[in-house]
Chain A
Amino acid sequence: MNPKTTDRIATFVLYTIAFLIVSVLFGLLAYILYHGFQRIDLQFITSPPETMKAGGGIGPQLFNSLYLLVLTLIITIPLGLGGGIYLAEYAPKNKVTDAIRLSIEVLSSLPSIVVGLFGLMVFVNVMGWGFSILSGACALTVFNLPLLVRVVEESLRSVPREQKEASLAMGISHWTTIRKVLLPVALPGIITGTILASGRIFGEAAALLFTAGMSSPDLNFSDWSFTTPVSPLNPFRPAETLAVHIWKVNSEGLIPDARAVADGASAILVLTVLFFNLFARWFGRWIYKRLTAS
């Protein structure tokens, strides 16, 4: 076969594969959104679910998902920054560092149901936090942390080496160099990576089944104390998230409109994750422009 024909065939095959992937993606998206939008309205998004009859919403679940995300980020961001800075700037090249890296790889590839069971054992039982938002957030931290550590490390490493040298060559300490020279340049990458990781937290179900629980108390959205059992902000209350709710109504729901509720909830979930992704791209670019005025 002559090179020209080979080239044409290769091009055709690659285009076909690309087309297949894109059409599967769009097909799925269109399917989910089409079915979902038949159910979605303001009442669906804001009102609590029903246990027996039709017409329930997903208000508390949506709130739980967002609150759990915020709590997880509050725990993960400082730890991720610390770990990432350590690996990028301080860790010497030796066996210990290699072992840390390997652990991070393993941690990020653990099946989420295993992380969930680990959370059930450690956070729910040993720590005695019960099925709670805090237990859920800690379980999510277990596999969000490696992602974030890597994002921070990669972003710091991608800062041109000359930036660091220039700063150190003016007698500026390593720590100040990291804070004032390297981190501002790495920030867009860190933010984008964090938001993308958030998308994954938002859609997580398996790790939360046994940690954040599969129920939500009757939340009183006018009670914003951290301690009362019906307060939305109480971190020690159980909190069924959107993704868990989809799983639950589908597998053991008694409501007659389970299918429609699941469709609507799925659409909301997909839209939110999609929003995270687009927002991350836009925000990363915006921050970069702000910091470099380019």
Chain B
Amino acid sequence: MDSLQKNGLITEELNVYYGTNHAVKDINLTFPKHTVSALIGPSGCGKSTYLRSLNRMNDLVEGTRVTGKIWFEGHDINDQGEDLQQLRRRIGMVWQKPNPFFKSVYENVAFAPRYHGMKNLDEIVESCLRKAALWDEVKDRLKDSALALSGGQQQRLCIARTLALGPSVLLLDEPTSALDPISTAKIEELMFDLKKDYTIIMVTHNMQQAARISDQTAFFLLGELIEVDQTKRLFTNPKQKKTEDYITGRFG
């Protein structure tokens, strides 16, 4: 129980199958509270699939089976009886491509809290936009379409929208790969601020990014977890030959 208090999320022997394809194999990982964890690895290594199973998004894909345990807030959320609506309020997700709703900036943030019956929507919208470092840029255009924002602003809006439900874990699936360098820098800065209050798990293709902002890094290859360590140690002194080959750019 003590380790559950300190840790935001733990997976035990997590397996994901797409039909007969065994995409993620026996992953044991621990994500301490208030840290940024980076999942790296070449395309198709199962890191996104693993990430999507943490808030049970893989349930939406027909023919997918997830076995193993995911410990979160004291119980196994991979259980059939888990209330997914409540779970997803606690574990938020941000996608690779910014996907704001086809609604106004305000409505993008207020939509989910209103659905869940939360009060003081104006305050929630303002505080979440502030947390996402977007408030100053959009405070005069809250009624405008979110699609009129730039890509980087849209992605920060997606982060704000996720924060609005008061989650404790944020799952980010390559959140900057569709953005320009300046927007990327802003999002990275943001993650640095957000980890004070949230446990962040991020998939990234960009190893410099993993090295810059994460506290721990996990290297995936062909569905297996090859190595996990503190970021600094993993990048300077990898224990596995495969990790070394990957981070030095010998493949992938």
Taking Cβ atoms with an 8 Å cutoff, the residues of A that contact B are 92-93, 160, 162-163, 165-173, 176, 180-181, 184-185, 291-294
Q: Which residues of A contact B86 (CB under 8 A)?
A: 171
- Whether B102 and A291, one on each chain, are in contact in the complex, defined by CB atoms closer than 8 angstroms, is yes
Interface residue? B190 (CB, 8 A): no
Q: Which residues of A contact B162 (CB under 8 A)?
A: 170
Q: Which residues of A contact B88 (CB under 8 A)?
A: 168-171
Within 8 A of A (CB), among B85-113: 85-89, 92-93, 95, 97, 99, 101-104, 111-112
The CA of A163 and the CA of B84, in the complex, are separated in Å by 18
Q: How far is the CB of A219 from chain B (nearest CB, A)?
A: 45
> What are 30 of the A-B contact pairs (CB < 8 Å)?
A92-B62, A160-B99, A162-B95, A162-B99, A163-B101, A165-B57, A165-B95, A166-B95, A166-B101, A167-B112, A168-B57, A168-B88, A169-B57, A169-B88, A170-B88, A170-B162, A171-B112, A171-B116, A172-B111, A172-B112, A172-B115, A176-B115, A180-B115, A181-B101, A184-B102, A184-B103, A292-B102, A292-B145, A293-B144, A293-B145
- Whether A185 and B165, one on each chain, are in contact in the complex, defined by CB atoms closer than 8 angstroms, is no
Taking Cβ atoms with an 8 Å cutoff, the residues of B that contact A are 55, 57, 60, 62, 84-89, 92-93, 95, 97, 99, 101-104, 111-112, 115-116, 144-145, 147-148, 158, 161-162, 165
- Whether B115 and A163, one on each chain, are in contact in the complex, defined by CB atoms closer than 8 angstroms, is no
Q: Which residues of A contact B116 (CB under 8 A)?
A: 171
Q: How far is the CB of B113 from chain A (nearest CB, A)?
A: 9
3 A-B pairs with least C-beta separation: A293-B145, A162-B99, A171-B88
B111's nearest neighbour on chain A, judged by CB, is: A180
- Whether B87 and A170, one on each chain, are in contact in the complex, defined by CB atoms closer than 8 angstroms, is no
- Whether B89 and A171, one on each chain, are in contact in the complex, defined by CB atoms closer than 8 angstroms, is yes
A92's nearest neighbour on chain B, judged by CB, is: B62
A163-B99, A184-B102 known; A169 and B92 CB under 8 Å? yes
Main secondary structure of the interface of A (DSSP, over half): helix
The CA of A171 and the CA of B99, in the complex, are separated in Å by 16
Known: A166-B99, A172-B85. 12 other contacts (CB 8 A): A92-B62, A160-B99, A166-B158, A169-B88, A170-B162, A170-B165, A171-B89, A171-B112, A172-B115, A176-B115, A184-B103, A294-B147
The CA of A185 and the CA of B147, in the complex, are separated in Å by 12
- Whether B102 and A171, one on each chain, are in contact in the complex, defined by CB atoms closer than 8 angstroms, is no
Point out the residue from A167, A169, A180, A292 that lies within 8 Å of B55, measured CB to CB.
A169
- Whether B102 and A163, one on each chain, are in contact in the complex, defined by CB atoms closer than 8 angstroms, is yes
The CA of A93 and the CA of B61, in the complex, are separated in Å by 12
Q: Which residues of A contact B158 (CB under 8 A)?
A: 166
Q: How far is the CB of A225 from chain B (nearest CB, A)?
A: 44
Q: Which residues of A contact B145 (CB under 8 A)?
A: 292-294
Q: How far is the CB of A244 from chain B (nearest CB, A)?
A: 42
The CA of A168 and the CA of B145, in the complex, are separated in Å by 21
Q: How far is the CB of A128 from chain B (nearest CB, A)?
A: 46
Q: Which residues of B contact A165 (CB under 8 A)?
A: 57, 60, 95, 99
- Whether B147 and A292, one on each chain, are in contact in the complex, defined by CB atoms closer than 8 angstroms, is yes
The CA of A167 and the CA of B145, in the complex, are separated in Å by 17
Point out the residue from A162, A173, A292 that lies within 8 Å of B97, measured CB to CB.
A162
The CA of A185 and the CA of B102, in the complex, are separated in Å by 7
Q: How far is the CB of A68 from chain B (nearest CB, A)?
A: 35
- Whether A171 and B85, one on each chain, are in contact in the complex, defined by CB atoms closer than 8 angstroms, is yes
Q: How far is the CB of B171 from chain A (nearest CB, A)?
A: 9
Q: Which residues of B contact A170 (CB under 8 A)?
A: 88-89, 92, 111-112, 115, 161-162, 165
Q: Which residues of A contact B97 (CB under 8 A)?
A: 162
Point out the residue from A171, A176, A180 that lies within 8 Å of B165, measured CB to CB.
A171
B90's nearest neighbour on chain A, judged by CB, is: A171
- Whether A93 and B62, one on each chain, are in contact in the complex, defined by CB atoms closer than 8 angstroms, is yes
B141's nearest neighbour on chain A, judged by CB, is: A293
A159's nearest neighbour on chain B, judged by CB, is: B102
Q: How far is the CB of A228 from chain B (nearest CB, A)?
A: 47
Q: Which residues of A contact B60 (CB under 8 A)?
A: 165, 168
Q: How far is the CB of A292 from chain B (nearest CB, A)?
A: 5
Q: Which residues of B contact A292 (CB under 8 A)?
A: 102, 145, 147
The CA of A169 and the CA of B87, in the complex, are separated in Å by 9
A180's nearest neighbour on chain B, judged by CB, is: B111
Q: Which residues of B contact A162 (CB under 8 A)?
A: 95, 97, 99
